[in-house]
Structure 1
Amino acid sequence: MARVKAADGGIRALALDPLRNFKHETVAVAEWGGALVTVRALSAGDWVEYRRRAAELVSAARVEAGLSAHALELAEGEETPSEPQVEVNANVLYAFVLVRTLFDENQQRVFCDGDVDEVAEAFSPVHDRLSAKVFELSGVGLNEDPPDPVDAAGNA
């Protein structure tokens, strides 16, 4: 078995590298003067925080709409909830995704966690495209149904 030579910082640096251990891709952003940025897949901790923030947004939207904070369970035989669904501005969630996963040419995060509201305020089709790439790298298709695991495994 061949040995992998550790980079300048040794194994510790390799193990802690924010990009090396995740799927990532460098993207040229024409709208930003051709700037090269790197986006990476979400970490397990990012996913946990994303889900927490999503649940918080939905609860707040439900309360604002005059509904209970938590969705009702479906009654037996029902296919749709008995309460209306609420609209949530997902830009703040997608801004969170970019804040956690957007890196500059020096492999440093562009934003800190406190920048989520500012990024959400500036959210544009460019930001949307970059966050879609993050989800793609994370194995999530935003506009497609997930494949049937039986079909994907070839066990049909």
Structure 2
Amino acid sequence: TLDHPRGRRPASFAYALLPNATGAAVRRHHGAHVLANTTRLQAVRHDGLGLTAANTFTAGTHHTAGLTVEGAASVLVRRREEVTVAVSDPTTERDTVTVVLRGRGLRKVRGDDAVRVRRVPGGTRLDVDTHHAYGRSLGVTLR
């Protein structure tokens, strides 16, 4: 429970869900940064794990941490020697989700057939066919 002075709005804060984590594991859980926490976009990055996660909730273009996401979607990116991306449509109502990874152009190494990859000025574009995926994540590995 957090106590706040009467008549004052609470300060903002964020939660990290760490299933089955021990106290020691929670103390080691540093390196996570909240990139965005709005009604349109929530995004976090964990530097040590090379992970960026973004959930977008509205139509339109959303920008965060080297990503551009068109419309409502969930996106998880792991940047290591290879770049692994998982994309889903949690609304289950979209036919295609488009994500642009800003930076050098990448090529598809392996992944779901529903993920089309092409280089664009300033990065790599993923067009993910989410029709009949029913919220399931579709993935691709890039190099």
Q: Give the TM-score, by structure 1 length.
A: 0.23
Higher helix share: 1
Q: Give the TM-score, by structure 2 length.
A: 0.25
Which has the larger Rg?
Answer: 1
